[in-house]
């Protein structure tokens, strides 16, 4: 598994009420695929994109009367860091497996349903890839399953 | 006037710079700094944390700038805002098929660009074209050929 050297960390605190900003922030962090290190502490492998995304989440937190600080650093304990990366990878692996299973199931559907599934699964694959920071091997399986579904769709058109 | 933003410009900063130069301040001078404390006196920051021209209420800096400058009455600029929002945030708030392509093109461009000023020179032309395309599409109701 690929290891992240540098991580960007967001420590944040938001008032309990109203709950809407809290859940909006939670949904954003979930979509980014962050590692949840503790209550109000999340991390992502650092690059220009992840730093920027977390900066704007921080801005949203302060816009709603909360507190947010961004940090960049490296773990001192490599075993714990691998466990964190392992948890992140397991989460995206499960998502990839769901895509692969759905692609296989859609292979026997009627042409219209197959086409709808193909469009939806390609989108889903892009979403998952954006939060796959450690080149999770299930990604390749999911991509092959969707390619397979695309080939079946193209054959039906020929 | 002087305008300040972070270096290594990507889609949102490039689009804001284009908007400023084309619609607000043709003589705009852009400076790039990571540290908000290093912003020159009198310069207006944009697409930086803590700036009024930043991400607010779930909108990207370009969308914020459109309303701040009173340009949100132009439907083509509004549509451009949706494309830039998706290229920058990809949160699927809008249906903007052009967004992933725009994101990739500008990311690639910054990789080979000598400076942020060079990047802005090219993205300026890119946004001129995207604006024209969007304007014509809105006028005729279909993608211009």
Of all residues in chain B, the one with the smallest CA distance to A68 is B49
ipTM for this prediction: 0.86
- Residue B31 to chain A, least CA–CA distance (Å): 19
In the block, tokens 């992933």 appear at: B100
- Mean residue pLDDT of chain A comes to 93
For residue B52, the tally of other CB atoms under 10 A from its CB is: 12
Contact A48/B10, CB-based, under 8 Å? Answer: yes
Q: Report the pLDDT averaged over residues B84-108.
A: 95
C-alpha pair distances (Å), A156 with each of A78, A107, A112, A152, B130: 51, 11, 11, 6, 36
Residue of B63, B89, B110 to mutate, interface with A, max A Cβ within 10 Å: B89
Contacts of A56 in chain B (CB under 8 A): 49, 55, 89
> Which residues of B fall within a CB distance of 8 Å from A28?
91
Per-residue pLDDT reduced to its tens digit, B98-141: 999 999 999 999 999 999 999 999 999 999 999 999 999 999 99
Q: B residues 46-105 near A, CB within 8 Å?
A: 49-50, 54-58, 89-91, 100
Shortest alpha-carbon distance between residue B83 and chain A (Å): 17
For B49, which of A24, A55, A130 is closest by C-beta distance? A55
* Mutation target among A25, A59, A122 for the B interface, most CBs of B within 10 A: A59
Cα–Cα distance list, B65 to A31, A146, B53, B140 (Å): 26, 40, 6, 27
Q: Quick one: which of A152, A5, A158, A151 has its CA closest to A82?
A: A5
Give the pairing type, strands B2-5 and B29-32: parallel
Beta-strand relationship, A67-73 and A41-45: unpaired
Closest-CA residue of chain A to B51: A59
From A124, A37, A38, A51, select the one nearest A88 (Cα to Cα).
A37
* Count of pairs with CB atoms under 8 A, one residue in A, one in B: 22
Interface of A to B at Cβ within 8 Å reads 24, 28, 31, 48, 52, 55-56, 58-60, 63, 126, 130
Q: What is the mean pLDDT of residues A119-140?
A: 96
Helix (H) or strand (E) holding A130: helix A111-130
Predicted TM-score of the model (pTM): 0.90
DSSP codes of every residue in B12-76: HHHHHHHHIIIII-TT-EEEE-S-GGGPPTTPEEBSSTT-SBS-BTTB-HHHHHHHHTT-TT-HH
Nearest beta carbon to residue A63 from set B10, B56, B90: B56
Helix or strand run (H / E) with residue B135: helix B116-140
Dihedral class, residue B70 (left if φ above 0, else alpha if ψ from -120 to 50, else beta): left
pLDDT digits (tens, 9 = 90+) for B14-55: 999 999 999 999 999 999 998 889 999 999 999 998 899 999
**CB contact B45 to A (< 8 Å):** no
Mean pLDDT of B57-81: 97
How much is the pLDDT for A4?
67
Q: Which of B57, B63, B50, B58 is nearest to B12 (CA)?
A: B63
Residue A108: strand, helix, or coil: coil
Quick one: pLDDT band at residue B145, thresholds 50, 70, 90? Answer: confident
DSSP string over A46-67: -SHHHHHHHHHHHHHHHHTT-E
Flag whether residue B36 sits within 8 Å of chain A, measured between CB atoms. Answer: no
Q: Which tokens belong to A46?
A: 């650092």
Average pLDDT over residues A56-77: 95
Place of tokens 């920058």: B88
Residue A3's pLDDT is what? 64
B108 to chain A, any CB pair closer than 8 A? The answer is: no
**Mean pLDDT, residues A101-106:** 96
């Amino acid at each position: 598994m690929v290891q992240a050297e540098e991580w960007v960390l967001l420590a944040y605190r938001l008032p309990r009420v109203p709950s809407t900003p809290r859940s909006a922030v939670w949904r954003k962090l979930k979509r980014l695929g962050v590692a949840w290190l503790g209550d109000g502490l999340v991390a992502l492998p650092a690059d220009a994109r992840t730093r920027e995304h977390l900066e704007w989440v921080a801005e949203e937190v302060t816009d709603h009367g909360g507190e947010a600080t961004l940090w960049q650093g490296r773990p001192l304990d490599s075993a714990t860091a691998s466990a964190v990366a392992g948890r992140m990878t397991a989460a995206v692996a499960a998502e990839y497996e769901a895509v692969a299973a759905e692609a296989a199931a859609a292979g026997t559907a009627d042409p219209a349903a197959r086409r709808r599934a193909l469009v939806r699964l390609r989108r889903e694959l892009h979403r998952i890839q954006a939060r796959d920071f450690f080149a999770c091997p299930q990604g390749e399986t999911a991509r092959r399953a969707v390619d397979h579904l695309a080939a079946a769709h193209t054959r039906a058109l020929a | 006037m002087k305008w300040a933003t972070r270096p290594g410009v990507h889609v949102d900063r490039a689009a804001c710079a284009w908007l400023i130069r084309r619609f607000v301040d043709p003589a705009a001078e852009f400076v790039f700094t990571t540290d908000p404390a290093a912003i020159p006196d009198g310069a207006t920051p944009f697409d930086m944390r803590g700036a009024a021209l930043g991400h607010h209420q779930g909108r990207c800096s370009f969308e914020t700038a459109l309303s701040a400058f009173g340009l949100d009455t132009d439907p083509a600029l509004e549509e451009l805002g949706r494309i830039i929002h998706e290229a920058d945030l990809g949160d699927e708030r809008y249906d903007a098929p052009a967004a992933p392509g725009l994101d990739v093109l500008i990311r690639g461009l910054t990789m080979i660009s000598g400076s942020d000023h060079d990047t802005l020179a090219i993205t300026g032309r890119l946004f001129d074209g995207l604006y024209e395309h969007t304007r014509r599409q809105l006028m005729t109701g279909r993608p211009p050929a």
